[in-house]
Structure 1
Amino acid sequence: MVASLFARLPIAMIGLAALLYVQREYGSYGPAGLVSAGTLVGVAAGSVVQGRLMDAFGATRPMLVVVAGYAGFVTVGCLTIEAHGPVPLLVLLALGIGVFEPQVGSASRAMWPRLLPAGPNRDAALAYEAISMEVFFILGPGIAGLLAVAPWAGTGLVAGAALMIAGSLVFVLNPTIREHRPRRGAGGRSVLGALASPGLRTVALAAFGFGAVVGFVEVAVPASATAAGHGAAGGLLLSLSSVSSVAFGLVYGVRPWPRAMRLRLPALLAGFAALVALLSVPAGLVGLAVALLVAGCLITPQSTAHSAAVELVAPAGTATEAFGWIVTAVTLGLAGGQSISGQLTAAHGPRPAFLLAAGVGLVLAGLLWLLRGTIGAGHPATRADSPVEPQIPAGV
């Protein structure tokens, strides 16, 4: 768990560090934005491939190859940036960095069903996973921003990559991970893998909707701060939603609601969309800050629900890949939301972006309600991936 913390801390740091590095070397946000987009696309593709390999061979062997590839792409990427190489080459290297970014988060979430029986302890573990990610998204951009003023512009990228590589290696070489022998189930024989499950497609839709709404907000909030004449406050405002997300997530992890997962997914997305609509009401930044604190309360509950729902719907032997699909869905939602929000905000200001974010969330929540029957009550992934007798020390 400690190793996974170090491996995942740079997740929210790498993209911003790379963007700032390219911007300082090339003097423009144009190439920097393309590099950032290439990294996102790579992560969306690589998370699924890595998950499928880890389900087939365990985490250790595939992750060692992934870490080596990641180190190679980061090294070549830095050398290309220093040489002011062509932008298309930079985008291809960014794509490779994203594909080979170690998906320790998926492996870590898939680990808990093997270690803990179904019940409050496992629910708490999944809540911890979601809350820890929120903490990383609070700390990561701040660390990247601090390192961006270092004498060498690439300090943030290299430091984040080194931390991720070291944490990933310690994680996958730990006996708890190394000794796990996966058992492939029927789901692994499908070309679609874990996505062959209708229930997982429903959970991925929920994750996509969540990512899309957040993507709208991540562009519209800084735009609101800039319009108010306080552009530097944009990042601080976004952090407020993460703070309330962590605080409320601690409470929600103990008593999640609604209890039935088939109802929880649409209810949480609809509630989040409704709260995001409130962001269009305040005229000043103080009011926007309060609204962000309120809206942030439903961020971690959704992440926790996505992780818990995967256990119900993932085909046997595909738990890690299933979590990879959730990462992909959220990433694609973020990319889509940010793209549309950027265009809408530039043309009409941030308020319509908040309202469209709410509308998208409510529409997708309605689709989740219609598809709620695909979320069953069984635990196929848990039965396949857990030992018959969980190896838990007495008293834990």
Structure 2
Amino acid sequence: MSVSLSDYRAAVRTPGAAVPVLGSALGRLPIAMYGLAVLLHVQRTTGSFASAGLVSAGILVGMSVGAVAQGRIMDRRGPARVLLVVAALFAGASALLLVLVATGRPLGALVAAAVLAGATMPALPGASRSLWTALLPPGPRRDAGYGYEAISLEVFFILGPAVAAFLVAAPWPGTGALVAASAMVVGTVVFACSRAVRAVRGVPRRTGRSVLGALASPGMRTVALASLGFGVVVGTVEVGVPAVTSAAGSAALGGVLLSAWSVTSVLGGLGYAARPWPRPLHLRLPVLLVGFAVAVAAMTLAAATGSVVATALVMLVAGALITPQTTAHSVAIDVVVAEGAGTEAFGWVVTAATVGIAAGQSGAGVVVEAIGPHAAFLVGGVGGLVVAAVLWLRRASVESAATPEAVPA
């Protein structure tokens, strides 16, 4: 289904959307900022990157669990009250973490607090995505709403780390983490208190429903697998690019290139939405992942020459396929899960991507040390192609769930 710029404008101008859109933007902006700000704060306070990495990993572990759990509760009870409770818990957990860091508590206590902060971090992306389902009927405008969520999140991933890096230079190194947590809490409260969000009612759990929830759907498992493969490829690039630029003598350049990667992702998402291919959603998931994996694998050849410019050019091409994939994952949720399970389903997508990124980063780190920076991209390429092959074998699980109204061929 093609989406035009007018569809994006119409979606964000939908009656009742203005306040939750603004609240969601404020609350989601620090998503990429919070973990990095905490990592930099812990590193500056303890002098140990290893300790900082463990604390940051604790946040990711907590987020992976919390996104699914919060999503399931919101689907049953509605998002407003759940988000307000979680925002209060997150404020307390974040304050606890900052106090523990400032008072020099043991690493185990820091990691435990980080897991708690991650688990209570408001699952605003899933709730914001599900709001479009309540505000708009199936069609180009709803797809534009999903596209807006994916594109805006890419923009936040550009701005968030830059703001965190800037604030760590403040007199108190915890300033970035405090600002990120505060923005997340305030944005969540604004979103949850808006009339449109308060009007959303949950769907009571049906008797006999599987304990797996949304993941009980074979199609949903396929979408989660697509998100996992996507995360693996992204994770290898996030390690490989800084490794290449560091070998060339400029570690800071890696962050600049990753930001530029997000820019081409946004532009690619807008262009792809106007002319999506392949049009059948069950084919789109494996095909987009194949293209992404091949483009990242090609970065191996560019990096092997030692040229940062060549590596960057291929990386920018690969970046154009990021937002089309995340948007396809979001659209597929409407197709493969039952009504009233969308927020939880998006939580599984986020969790799968997080696990994939962690796996990709770990694998890339090992081969960079053993072989060299260029080998990191080969890990991503091969991993992505393997997952894409499984997606192709499982494509019927998405096709059988699709309806002509949901995804026209």
Pairwise TM-score range, normalised by the shorter structure: over 0.9
Structure 2 unaligned spans of 5+:
1-20
State the aligned residue count: 382
- The reply on whether 1:172 has 2:195 as its aligned counterpart is no
Tell me how far apart the structure 2 counterparts of residues 187 and 315 of structure 1 sit (CA, whole Å).
Answer: 14
Residue in 1 that maps onto 2:135: 115
Q: Is the 8 A contact 1:124 1:254 kept in 2?
A: no
Residue in 2 that maps onto 1:124: 144
- The reply on whether 1:44 has 2:64 as its aligned counterpart is yes
**384, 388, 391: which one pairs with 1:365?**
388
**351, 359, 362: which one pairs with 1:339?**
362
Tell me how far apart the structure 2 counterparts of residues 243 and 157 of structure 1 sit (CA, whole Å).
Answer: 25
Tell me how far apart the structure 1 counterparts of residues 372 and 117 of structure 2 sit (CA, whole Å).
Answer: 34
Q: How many Å apart are 1:289 and its aligned residue? A: 1.3
SS at 1:189 equivalent: coil
Residue in 2 that maps onto 1:86: 106
Tell me how far apart the structure 2 counterparts of residues 65 and 119 of structure 1 sit (CA, whole Å).
Answer: 33
Residues 92-171 of structure 1 correspond to what in structure 2 (within 5 A)? Answer: 92-171=112-191
Q: Letter of the aligned partner of 2:334 in structure 1? A: E
Residue in 1 that maps onto 2:313: 290
1:211–1:4: structure 2 CA closer, same or farther, 3 Å change rule? same
Q: Is the 8 A contact 1:211 1:333 kept in 2?
A: yes
- The reply on whether 1:9 has 2:9 as its aligned counterpart is no
1:230-252 C-alpha deviation (Å, 9 max, x unpaired): 11111011112111111111111
- The reply on whether 1:310 has 2:329 as its aligned counterpart is no
Q: Letter of the aligned partner of 1:373 in structure 2? A: A
Q: Letter of the aligned partner of 1:189 in structure 2? A: R
Residue in 1 that maps onto 2:8: none
Structure 1 unaligned spans of 5+:
384-396
Percent identical across equivalent pairs?
52
Q: How many Å apart are 1:349 and its aligned residue? A: 1.2
Q: Letter of the aligned partner of 2:360 in structure 1? A: G
Q: How many Å apart are 1:183 and its aligned residue? A: 2.2
Residues 201-350 of structure 1 correspond to what in structure 2 (within 5 A)? Answer: 201-282=221-302, 283=305, 284-350=307-373
Q: Is the 8 A contact 1:50 1:62 kept in 2?
A: yes
SS at 1:256 equivalent: coil
Tell me how far apart the structure 1 counterparts of residues 75 and 235 of structure 2 sit (CA, whole Å).
Answer: 30
263-272 or 58-67, which moves further after superposition? 58-67
SS at 1:281 equivalent: helix
Q: How many Å apart are 1:254 and its aligned residue? A: 2.2
SS at 1:366 equivalent: helix
Q: CA RMSD, aligned part only? A: 1.5
What TM-score do you get using the length of structure 2 for normalisation? 0.91
Q: Letter of the aligned partner of 2:383 in structure 1? A: V
SS at 1:375 equivalent: helix
Q: Letter of the aligned partner of 2:32 in structure 1? A: A
